[in-house]
Amino acid sequence: MICVGDRGTGVGSRIRGHLRYGGFWKPKNRSHYISVCVTNEHNISQTCGFCFHKITHPVVMANGKLKTINGTFVFVNPECILVKYGRSYQGRDSLFAFLVGLSGLCNILLGTTFPSLNPKRSIGHLDTDFTTFAQTFPYKKQVY
């Protein structure tokens, strides 16, 4: 099983699946050999995968100006497990790969997305679907 993000595949665009920043040919080609799960990448670049809070880019002072470092992220939530263990800086690619896999796994097992990664979630909406599925998942019977 491989999980692939949907950004750059033309999903939801006016050109309907045609080549856009790489296209859909890689997941389509891989689906001949293994199962492919295309996951939604909404908010992946702005969310911590361990506490699901916002993350920021680190900023340094260079020649009297503030400069943003785009290759890494800083986790600022003091309750996050990464901040508690002194690993508050993480690389962009490893974080994105982790979140795409986590989003795909949640889609496969629970049939719904994480509330912080859901593009259809409203701000005041309680995430009852996700909570219900997550609470009942350990008690589901195996179907063979």
The predicted structure's pLDDT at residue 22 = 54
The predicted structure's pLDDT at residue 79 = 87
* pLDDT band per the 50, 70, 90 thresholds, residue 142: low
Arithmetic mean of pLDDT, 84-108? 82
Tokens 């491989």: give the residue: 2
* Residue closest to 5 by CA, chosen among 123, 112, 103: 103
Looking at the DSSP bridge assignments, the partners of residue 67 are 60
Tokens 């800083």: give the residue: 74
Would you give the end-to-end CA distance of the chain in angstroms?
19
Please determine, for residue 85, whether its predicted confidence score (pLDDT) is greater than 70: yes
* pLDDT band per the 50, 70, 90 thresholds, residue 87: confident
The first and second tokens of residue 107, run together, are 């889609």
Please determine, for residue 12, whether its predicted confidence score (pLDDT) is greater than 60: no
- Do strands 2-5 and 36-39 pair parallel, antiparallel, or not at all (unpaired)? parallel
The predicted structure's pLDDT at residue 19 = 47
What is the rounded average pLDDT for all residues in the chain? 74
pTM above 0.85, yes or no: no
Question: How many angstroms separate the CA atoms of 21 and 10, rounded?
Answer: 8
Evaluate whether 41 touches 27 at the Cβ level (below 8 Å): no
* pLDDT band per the 50, 70, 90 thresholds, residue 45: confident
Arithmetic mean of pLDDT, 59-68? 87
* Residue closest to 82 by CA, chosen among 58, 51, 45: 51
Question: How many angstroms separate the CA atoms of 144 and 141, rounded?
Answer: 10
The predicted structure's pLDDT at residue 16 = 54
Greatest mean pLDDT range, 31-35, 93-97, 124-128? 93-97
> At a CB cut-off of 8 Å and minimum separation 6, what does 85 contact?
none
The predicted structure's pLDDT at residue 2 = 73
